[in-house]
Structure 1
Amino acid sequence: TARSSPRDVIVSEEDWTYAGRSGRIIITPHFRLHTTLGDSLLLERFPRFVEVALAAYRTELGVLPEPTRRLETYIMRTRPQWESLTRALTGPRAPVYLRIPRGGYAFDGKGVFFDIGPYDTLAIAGHEGWHQYTQSTFKQPLPLWLEEGIAAYFEGFRWHPSDRTLPVFLPWSNPERFDTLRKLAADDRLMPLDELLVSRPQDLIRSADGRTLGYYAQVWALTHFLHEGAGAKYRGDLARLLADAADGRIARTLRDAVGARAARGAMSRRVGDAVFRVYFNNDLAAAQHEYETFIHAVTLPGTRHNITAGRSPLTDR
C-alpha cells in the first residue's frame, strides 16, 4: 500500500488574515485550523496530529461521541499574535490566559496555540485538545481531577517508526510527569487521594513552589490507575463515567446515590469525592491504599526505561 501523507487529512484550504498577517484556514474532517504559520514542520504535522489525537480521545479510555461540528483551532506563529487573539476571543477573562507561559489553552471549545517548537507545541495540543473536545462535545463536565488527569494522559506520544509524520499516542511516554511523580513518592510527599480530589490547579499556583506540577503528575497517575491499576478493576467504571459525562447522566447518577443537594454541589464545584465514591469506590481509605500501591509499583527502580519506550511500567520490568 502507498505510504500515507500528512496532507491526506486536509479537506480544503483558504486564505486568512489576522491583524494584517497573512495566513490560511485548513479544513480537516473535524477541525477548522486558523494559522499564521509559514511552511514548517509544525504546520505540516499539526492537522494530522489533531485528527489522530481526537481519534485517541474517542477510543483510548472508552467509546465516546464525535463532535457535532468542526472544532475551531488557532495556531499562531508568534506569542504577540497569540496574545492579541486571546484578548479578542476571551474578553474580560484574557488576563487569566495571558499568564500562561507556553503553548496555549482551550476556551469555550476552541484551541488557541502558538509555536514553541514542534514537539512541545504538539504535546500541549494533545493536552488542551482533550479540554477542547470535552468543552464542545460533553453534555456534563467531568470532575477536575479526571478532566486534568486525562488531558495529561494525552500529552504522551511518539512518532511512528516507519512514518515520522504519524503520531502514536502512548500515555506512559511522559518522562516529565513520571519524574515528578517518582520524586514525590521518594520524598514521601504524595498528596493523599482525599486531598487530590478536592484540589484545583488554579489554587495551587498561589501556593508553595512545585505543587502545581505535583498535582498534574498525580492526576496523570490517577488516570493510569483507574485504567490499569488494581488489576484493572476500575477500567469499566472509568468508561461508564466518561460515557455518562458525554451523554449528560452524571448529575442524575449522583442524585440517585447521594441526594440532590450533594449532587448539585459536586457538579457546580467540579471537585470533591462524590463522583469518585459513586463511580469507583465508596471506601476512600481502601482506594487510597490501592492508589499508593500502584504509584510505588510504577516508580520502582528500573521502571523508567519503560516510560522512555512508552510502555506501562507494570509490564516486562
Structure 2
Amino acid sequence: MGLVGCSQPSSSFQSTISPDAGPNLNTTTGLIDYLQVEPTVRHVASWDNPYGQGLVIETRHYRVYTTLLEPLMLRQVPSFLESAFRAYQRQLPEPVSSSEPLVVYLFDSRTAWEAYTRDTAGENAEIYLQIQAGAYVADGVCAAYNIGRRQTFSVLGHEGWHQFTQQYFTYRLPSWLDEGIATLFETCRYERGQFVFQPTSNMLRLGTLKLQLLEGELISLNELLVLNPGQLLSGYNVDPHGATAFYSQVYALVRFLREDGYGMRLRAYRAMLHGAAHGDWPIEDRLLDVAADRQAVLTVGWNIQTSQALFGYYFGKDLDAMNAEYQAFCRKITYPIQLKAMHIIPAN
C-alpha cells in the first residue's frame, strides 16, 4: 500500500550539534542523553536484543523498542506517536481509558524487521513478510521498519489506528470503517514540536479517487461496504489495483460521514465508534460475539452483515440515495486535483 507521509520545514532536519557541543550521538549512551530531554519522553534505556544496537523509549502512551538510531528522525518518533494518539482519541465523542502502553517495534532495516517477524509471528510470519514496505499490527503490537521519514511516519499513523482499536475497543470494526479511518492519519505536518494530521491533503488517496472518477470505475456504496481484505489482496473484480481503489474510496467515505452537509452525520459517526469502544452496538448478538472475540476469524459473511447492520442503523437504509450524495462528495473533494504524467499533484 503506497503512503504519502508527513511534511515539515526543511530547517527541522538541520542539526546544530557539534561533536564538542553535546552527547556523542554515535553511541547509545549519547542518544539516551540526547533523547531524555525531549518533552514527550519519560524514560530511555539501552535495549539488548539480537537485531542490533537499540533503545527502549517510553512516553505517556507508548513503549518503543528501536534499532533505528538516526538522531534527528528518532527524536521525532515520540512526539509523532503521542500526536497520533491524541488524534485517534478525537475520533470519539469522549476519550477511552488508556492505562496500558502501546508497544511499537521500529527497526532500522527490513532485514532486522524480517528477523523479528520470523522470531515472533509463528505461522503468520510468511503472511507479514509479503508486505512490500511498511508495518503490521499483531496481537496489539506494531512492528515497522524505516522506509524514509515521511513514509515511516505515514505507516505508523495508519497502523497505529489499528493498534489503538485492538488495545482499547471492545468490538472490532468492519473493513471499510477500520481502513477508512486509518487513512486519515497518513498525512501530517510538523509544527512547533507536534504533528498535525491533514487528511484533506492526502494526495495519494485523492489522486487515486480522481482517476477512478475519470475512468468511471467508482465502486458503489453497496459494494464498498461489504468488501473484505481477502478480496483486496486478490484484486477487486480481477483488478490488480483493487486494493488501492478500495483504500481511496473508504478514505472518501469516512470523510463523507464526517464532513458532508456541514457534518450532519458526524454525531452518528461518533456514536458508532463510541459503541465499538464501549461494547454498545445495537445489532444481533451473534455478530457482536464475533466482534468481541479477537481470537475469532472475521469472515466475509461477518463483514457483510455487520457493515450493513451498522450502516443501516446509524445512517439509514437508503443506500441508493446516499450513494448519489457520496459520489457527489467524491467529485467535490477531487475537483482541485490534477493528474500529470502519473504523478499526483495538488492544483495551484
Instruction: After TM superposition, give the deviation of residue 203 of structure 1 in Å.
Output: 2.1
Q: Secondary structure at the match of 1:214?
A: helix
Correspondence for 1:166: 194
The one-letter code sitting in structure 2 at the alignment partner of 1:277 is G
Correspondence for 1:199: 227
Say which of 282, 287, 303 aligns to 1:271: 303
Larger deviation, residues 219-228 vs 19-28:
19-28
TM alignment of 1:190-229, pairs within 5 A: 190-207=218-235, 208-229=239-260
Q: Distance in 1 between matches of 2:44 and 2:200?
A: 35
Correspondence for 2:315: 280
Instruction: After TM superposition, give the deviation of residue 60 of structure 1 in Å.
Output: 4.1
Deviations 1:191-234, CA, capped at 9 Å, x for gaps: 11111111113322212211100000000000100101134221
Say which of 326, 333, 338 aligns to 1:291: 326
Instruction: After TM superposition, give the deviation of residue 88 of structure 1 in Å.
Output: 2.2
8 Å contact 2:51–2:112 — kept in the other structure? no
Q: Distance in 2 between matches of 1:264 and 1:288?
A: 30
8 Å contact 1:28–1:47 — kept in the other structure? yes
For the pair shown, which has the larger CA radius of gyration, 1 or 2?
Answer: 2
Q: Distance in 2 between matches of 1:244 and 1:62?
A: 10
The one-letter code sitting in structure 2 at the alignment partner of 1:14 is A
TM alignment of 1:168-183, pairs within 5 A: 168-183=196-211
The one-letter code sitting in structure 1 at the alignment partner of 2:220 is P
Q: Distance in 2 between matches of 1:248 and 1:189?
A: 36
The one-letter code sitting in structure 1 at the alignment partner of 2:312 is R
Q: Secondary structure at the match of 1:22?
A: coil
Counterpart check, 1:104 vs 2:139? no
8 Å contact 2:183–2:251 — kept in the other structure? yes
Deviations 1:154-187, CA, capped at 9 Å, x for gaps: 1121122xx3x42111111210010000110111
Q: Distance in 2 between matches of 1:172 and 1:157?
A: 10
The one-letter code sitting in structure 2 at the alignment partner of 1:174 is N
Summarize the Cα distance change of 1:248–1:9 in structure 2 as closer, same or farther, 3 Å threshold: same
Q: Secondary structure at the match of 2:47?
A: strand
Q: Secondary structure at the match of 1:254?
A: coil
The one-letter code sitting in structure 1 at the alignment partner of 2:85 is L
**What TM-score comes out, normalization by structure 1 length?**
0.87
TM alignment of 1:82-101, pairs within 5 A: 82-101=113-132
8 Å contact 1:23–1:35 — kept in the other structure? yes
Q: Distance in 1 between matches of 2:290 and 2:58?
A: 40
Counterpart check, 1:119 vs 2:154? no
8 Å contact 1:10–1:26 — kept in the other structure? yes
Say which of 151, 166, 178 aligns to 1:135: 166
Instruction: After TM superposition, give the deviation of residue 266 of structure 1 in Å.
Output: 7.9
8 Å contact 2:206–2:337 — kept in the other structure? no
Q: Secondary structure at the match of 2:163?
A: helix
Identity of aligned residues (%): 34
8 Å contact 2:51–2:116 — kept in the other structure? no
The one-letter code sitting in structure 2 at the alignment partner of 1:204 is L
Q: How many residues align?
A: 296
Deviations 1:260-280, CA, capped at 9 Å, x for gaps: 456668885452222111111
Q: Distance in 2 between matches of 1:20 and 1:174?
A: 34
Q: Secondary structure at the match of 1:203?
A: helix
The one-letter code sitting in structure 2 at the alignment partner of 1:271 is N
Summarize the Cα distance change of 1:50–1:7 in structure 2 as closer, same or farther, 3 Å threshold: same
Q: Secondary structure at the match of 1:224?
A: helix
Summarize the Cα distance change of 1:262–1:248 in structure 2 as closer, same or farther, 3 Å threshold: closer
Instruction: After TM superposition, give the deviation of residue 20 of structure 1 in Å.
Output: 5.4
The one-letter code sitting in structure 2 at the alignment partner of 1:72 is V
8 Å contact 2:136–2:143 — kept in the other structure? yes
Q: Distance in 2 between matches of 1:62 and 1:149?
A: 18
